[in-house]
């Protein structure tokens, strides 16, 4: 499709993978650019983005939000996914060789992910979710939240650590944060007796991280139903991108999604929006071949 090539050309030629055309490069859009370029065969530009992330990595192994801001460190999981995509998943798939390969950015980042966690808080009647589960937080020293946990879970799965206790607790946290009727908010389910409304973007991201998982409570299935029923041609770009990626991870791509992505790309371009939204749409256009699914595909699944 012409719009996909146009976005890829912009990404390949860009000297500024930032949140806006005038902003400095930032880790999240750089990682998404690396994933997209690698998945579409633009290897040289993908390596350039991956190298930027390596340069942004600090001694702890984490990657901050930009080259000049080493905290917060939630983009670390995305950086791991980018490095794995650029190297075709050939980096160390576990930590057995971490002593010998401690210089490898992926291994250093994995060690940081496994050593870091969100803070537990006591169960409270004011909050419905299980606040004792530990995933990952937006900011060090704060409570675990859904989106940084999803990125970390995806990174650990991509490196062969899907059975690691940290990964399993992260999965439990994501399922726990799904709303009883399906979908999820940004990390809470019910606050002071008020059930929160689902949002498309975190729901799609949660589905992506839960690829290959089962959920006896039924909330995962209801989330799939919510996203499949609610997504459509009018869905905003970032939400549409994550929704399609999440549905693809469960083999539930909606009919006509290609045209929805193209229309969203046209709207986004006309409004002069930054590249990250277009990047997500271009990733979603890969369907079940997105790096998120290909890297974290359960063993034995073809």
- CA distance linking residue 17 with residue 31, whole number of Å: 9
What residues pair up with 195 in beta bridges, in sequence order?
190
Q: What average pLDDT does this structure show over 188-215?
A: 94
Q: Are 145 and 186 in contact (CB under 8 A)?
A: yes
Residues near 87 by beta carbon (within 8 Å), at least 6 away in sequence = 106
* pLDDT given at position 213: 96
Kindly report which listed range (18-32, 89-103, 209-223) carries the lowest average pLDDT score.
89-103
Q: What residue has token string 């979908």?
A: 183
What is the percent of the chain where pLDDT is above 90? 80
Select the more confidently predicted residue: 96 or 30: 30
Question: pLDDT band at residue 126, thresholds of 50, 70 and 90?
Answer: confident
**Model confidence at 301: pLDDT above 70:** no
> At residue 171, does pLDDT exceed 80?
yes
Write out pLDDT tens, residues 13-34: 887 799 988 889 999 999 999 9
Whether 302 has a pLDDT exceeding 50, the answer reads no
Question: 175 φ, ψ to 5°?
Answer: -60, -40
- What's the helix, strand, coil split of the chain in %, to 5? 50, 5, 45
Query: What is the percent of the chain with per-residue pLDDT over 70, rounded to a whole number?
Result: 93
- Looking at the predicted structure, is the pLDDT value of residue 72 above 60? yes
Q: Cis peptide before 72, with omega less than 30 degrees from 0? A: yes
Reply yes or no on whether the pLDDT at 99 is more than 50.
no
pLDDT, average across residues 84-97: 61
Predicted local confidence at residue 15, as pLDDT = 73
Among residues 135, 143, 122, which one has the least CA distance to residue 171? Answer: 135
Q: Report the SS3 class of residue 127.
A: strand
Distance CA 133, CA 166 (A): 10
Average pLDDT over residues 218-224: 98
Overall average pLDDT of the 277-294 stretch = 92
Class of 18-296 in CATH? mainly alpha
pLDDT bucket at 100, cuts 50 / 70 / 90: very low
Indicate whether 207 pLDDT > 50.
yes
Q: What's the distance, CA 174 to chain centroid?
A: 13
> Higher-confidence residue: 135 or 89?
135
57 three-class SS: strand
Radius of gyration of the chain (CA): 18
Residue 233 contacts residue 271 (beta carbons within 8 Å): no
Q: Measured between alpha carbons, how far is residue 300 from residues 94, 112, 214, 296 in Å?
A: 17, 28, 16, 12
What rounded mean pLDDT belongs to the chain?
Answer: 91
Distance CA 79, CA 57 (A): 9
Task: Tell me: pLDDT of 89 over 70.
Answer: no
DSSP, collapsed to helix, strand or coil, labels residue 199 as strand
| b (16+ CB within 10 A) / e for 229-254 | ebbeeebebbbbbbbbbbbbbbeebe
């Amino acid at each position: 499709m012409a719009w996909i090539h146009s976005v890829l050309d912009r990404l390949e030629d860009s000297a500024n993978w930032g949140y806006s055309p005038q902003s400095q490069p930032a880790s999240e859009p750089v990682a998404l650019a690396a994933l997209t370029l690698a998945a579409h065969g633009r290897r040289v530009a993908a390596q350039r983005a991956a190298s930027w992330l390596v340069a942004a990595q600090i001694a702890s192994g984490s990657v901050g939000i930009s080259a000049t801001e080493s905290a917060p460190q939630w983009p670390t999981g995305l950086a791991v996914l980018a490095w794995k995509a650029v190297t075709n998943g050939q980096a160390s798939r576990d930590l057995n060789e971490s002593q010998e390969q401690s210089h490898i950015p992926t291994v250093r980042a994995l060690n940081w992910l496994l050593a870091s966690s969100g803070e537990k808080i006591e169960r409270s009647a004011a909050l419905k979710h299980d606040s004792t589960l530990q995933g990952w937080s937006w900011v060090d020293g704060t409570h675990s939240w859904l989106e940084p946990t999803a990125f970390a879970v995806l990174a650990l799965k991509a490196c062969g650590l899907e059975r690691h206790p940290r990964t399993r607790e992260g999965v439990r946290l994501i399922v726990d944060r799904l709303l009883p009727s399906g979908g999820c908010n940004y990390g809470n389910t019910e606050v002071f007796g008020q059930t929160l409304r689902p949002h498309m973007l975190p729901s799609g991201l949660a589905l992506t991280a839960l690829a290959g998982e089962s959920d006896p409570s039924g909330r995962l299935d209801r989330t799939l139903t919510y996203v499949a029923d609610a997504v459509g041609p009018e869905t905003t770009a970032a939400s549409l991108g994550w929704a399609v990626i999440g549905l693809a991870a469960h083999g539930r791509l909606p009919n006509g999604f290609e045209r929805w992505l193209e229309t969203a790309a046209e709207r986004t371009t006309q409004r002069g929006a930054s590249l990250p939204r277009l990047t997500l749409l271009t990733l979603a256009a890969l369907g079940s071949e997105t790096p998120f699914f290909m890297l974290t595909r359960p063993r034995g699944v073809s």
